[in-house]
């Protein structure tokens, strides 16, 4: 006896999410605006070290229309950074607040080598492994570095957040999705980020503007300030 067409359609609709995995969804639903909260851990740090208590535990990424704003606070609020990233035009306005200092540098792609010297450009190996992180389907990639002493890094990324070029400014530029679980090293300090909450919703455009009370400086000045502060955590 033939199966009614209506039942076939229902069965196909139920099976579609399993076919799609981390790729294109039946309705291609993507989150266009919202926030991602990441848990931060520091695998190389001694938890009993006096500086460990000064390290941040969370960071927040706000995204909308190919723009990102990443905020981080450490040292009980003494040290704060905000990176406002324009993914379409490829520039970053990097804000640093340290005690009474409030600095901002406008960074173009040629300036980023100052801030990404630690590991160089890794080879990205893509896998078929999948997982769900903060409710979003992800695929796994591996970053393999030329330096044999540098361990491989697992990169879990999703295509369900509507940012077309989200990683252009870092060593994982070839990853075609928003990173939800990964590691990075800056100024000798290894950080592990794991998304714990993704909240879709409208974002105020003011979130992506340069802060008015910050003094514009060159990339080299900002690099020096960051190196002095972050090196104290990696000693």
Per residue in 77-101, pLDDT (tens digit) is: 788 999 999 999 999 999 999 888 9
Residue count of the chain, please give it: 235
Task: Return the DSSP state at 3.
Answer: P
The domain locations on the chain are 33-230
CB of 86 closer than 8 Å to CB of 67: yes
DSSP 3-state of 202: coil
Q: E-strand spans in 28-152?
A: 33-41, 58-64, 67-74, 79-86, 91-98, 101-107, 123-133, 136-144
CA distance 228 to 13: 56
pTM (2 d.p.): 0.83
Buried b / exposed e along 60-85 (16+ C-beta atoms within 10 A): bbbbbebbbbbbbbbbeeebbbbbbb
At residue 234, the pLDDT reads 55
CA distance 163 to 166: 6
At residue 5, the pLDDT reads 39
The fold for domain 33-230 equals outer membrane lipoprotein receptor (LolB), chain A (2.50.20)
For residue 229, the surrounding DSSP H or E stretch is helix 219-230
At residue 15, the pLDDT reads 33
CA distance 188 to 174: 23
At residue 51, the pLDDT reads 64
Segments in the chain below pLDDT 70 = 1-28, 46-53, 76, 117-120, 232-235
CB of 14 closer than 8 Å to CB of 7: no
CA distance 91 to 66: 12
At residue 12, the pLDDT reads 34
């Amino acid at each position: 006896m033939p199966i009614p067409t209506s039942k076939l359609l229902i069965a196909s609709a139920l099976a579609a999410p399993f076919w799609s995995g981390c790729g294109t969804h039946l309705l291609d639903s993507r989150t266009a605006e919202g926030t991602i909260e990441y848990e931060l851990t520091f695998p190389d740090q001694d938890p009993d070290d006096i500086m460990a208590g000064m390290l941040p535990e969370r960071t927040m990424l706000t995204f909308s229309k190919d723009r990102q704003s990443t905020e981080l606070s450490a040292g009980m609020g003494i040290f704060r950074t905000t990176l406002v990233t324009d993914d379409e035009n490829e520039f970053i306005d990097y804000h640093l607040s340290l005690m009474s200092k409030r600095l901002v540098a406008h960074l173009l792609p040629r300036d980023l080598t100052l801030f990404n010297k630690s590991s160089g450009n890794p080879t990205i190996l893509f896998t078929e492994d999948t997982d769900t992180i903060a409710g979003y389907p992800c695929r796994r990639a591996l970053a393999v570095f030329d330096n044999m002493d540098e361990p491989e890094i697992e990169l879990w990324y999703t295509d369900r957040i509507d940012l077309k070029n989200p990683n252009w400014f870092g060593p994982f530029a070839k990853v075609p999705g928003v990173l939800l679980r990964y590691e990075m090293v800056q100024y000798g300090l290894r950080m592990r980020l794991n998304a714990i909450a993704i909240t879709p919703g409208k974002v105020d455009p003011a979130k992506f503007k340069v802060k008015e009370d910050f003094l514009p400086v060159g990339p080299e000045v900002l690099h020096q300030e960051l190196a002095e502060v972050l090196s104290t955590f990696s000693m």
